[in-house]
């Protein structure tokens, strides 16, 4: 089975917000990415709306209801938006004010488990699939399954930031074991964070990973090659 590609278009909005302008519009980017081979469009609605704004979520979910996969924190702002605009799926992620990007998977403290379970129930009532962003850790995967998640997105940050080949191999092994366990637990497996045109193949080779969510590398390449070609190239690698 071919691995699907979720294209994260947050940074189209980052560029727009740098000038508080009306363009480039993430809606246009989503249309181009989908017609170039993307299977899903991914955005992160942050509480500070520093890139993707609530109006973007409204527009994107209206135009591409079956294609939107939205990363959201456990806060009420994100919850309300998801329940109102009902994307195809959400990925619950930890969100810290001021962070440059998501720093890792969910830390399942008792309070986090309680809140995640509550969100999963509410999202399921609206027929929204729920993914949890998790580190490739057996205990965390078991918690994700117990809480009722449909999908786990394995955080590939440690792999993508590994400085040496042996270190990257070790991280890949962790991802492979996690992908296997997640499937045994009945979870659909996705992966993402820091993946690019050079490091994605090894993750795709693990097998069993149904979708890769990739943003920064595709957007960076699109500056030089154009978005259609940047998406097509990534899709061909998978």
Looking at residue 238, the DSSP 8-state letter turns out to be -
The closest alpha carbon to 139, from 171, 95, 106, belongs to 106
* Rounded distance between C-alpha atoms, residue 130 and residue 116, angstroms: 10
Assess whether 71 carries a catalytic annotation.
yes
Applying the rule CB under 6 A, the residues between 114 and 143 that interact with ligand PXP are 133
Assess whether 124 carries a catalytic annotation.
no
Instruction: State how far Cα 119 lies from the chain centre.
Output: 17
Applying the rule CB under 6 A, the residues between 17 and 46 that interact with ligand PXP are 44
The closest alpha carbon to 43, from 74, 12, 85, 66, belongs to 12
Contacts with ligand PXP, 150-189, as mask; x by CB under 6 A: ---x------------------------------------
SS3 33: helix
Roughly what angle, to the nearest 10 degrees, separates helices 76-85 and 110-125?
20
Contacts with ligand PXP, 85-104, as mask; x by CB under 6 A: ------x-x-------xx--
Q: Which is nearer to ligand PXP, 9 or 22 (CB)?
A: 9
Q: Choose the catalytic residue: 11, 51, 69, 193.
A: 193
* Rounded distance between C-alpha atoms, residue 15 and residue 4, angstroms: 26
Q: Choose the catalytic residue: 44, 51, 69, 190.
A: 44
Contacts with ligand PXP, 200-229, as mask; x by CB under 6 A: -------------xxxxx------------
Strand partners, 42: 8, 69
Residues involved in catalysis: 44, 71, 193
Which residues contact ligand PXP by CB under 6 A? 8, 10, 44, 71, 91, 93, 101-102, 133, 153, 192-195, 213-217
């Amino acid at each position: 089975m071919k691995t699907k590609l979720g294209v994260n278009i947050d940074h189209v909005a980052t560029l727009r917000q740098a000038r508080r302008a009306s363009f480039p519009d993430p809606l246009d980017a989503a249309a181009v990415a989908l017609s170039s081979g993307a299977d899903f469009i991914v955005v992160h609605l942050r509480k500070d709306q520093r890139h993707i704004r609530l109006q973007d979520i409204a527009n994107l979910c209206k135009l591409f209801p079956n294609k939107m996969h939205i990363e959201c924190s456990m806060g009420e702002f994100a919850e309300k938006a998801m329940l109102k605009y009902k994307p195809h799926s959400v990925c619950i992620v930890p969100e810290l004010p001021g962070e440059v990007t998501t720093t890792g998977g969910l830390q399942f403290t008792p309070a986090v488990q309680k809140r995640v379970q509550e969100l999963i129930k509410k999202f399921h009532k609206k027929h929204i699939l729920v993914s949890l962003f998790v580190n490739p850790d057996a205990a965390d995967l078991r918690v994700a399954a117990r809480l009722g998640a449909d999908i786990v997105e394995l955080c590939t940050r440690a792999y993508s930031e590994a400085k040496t080949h042996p270190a990257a191999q070790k991280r890949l092994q962790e991802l492979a074991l996690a992908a296997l366990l997640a499937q045994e637990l009945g979870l659909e497996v996705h992966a993402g964070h820091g993946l690019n045109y050079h490091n994605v193949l090894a993750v795709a080779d693990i097998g069993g990973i149904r979708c890769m969510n990739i943003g920064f590398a595709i957007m960076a390449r699109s500056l030089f090659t154009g978005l259609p070609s940047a998406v097509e190239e990534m899709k061909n690698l998978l």
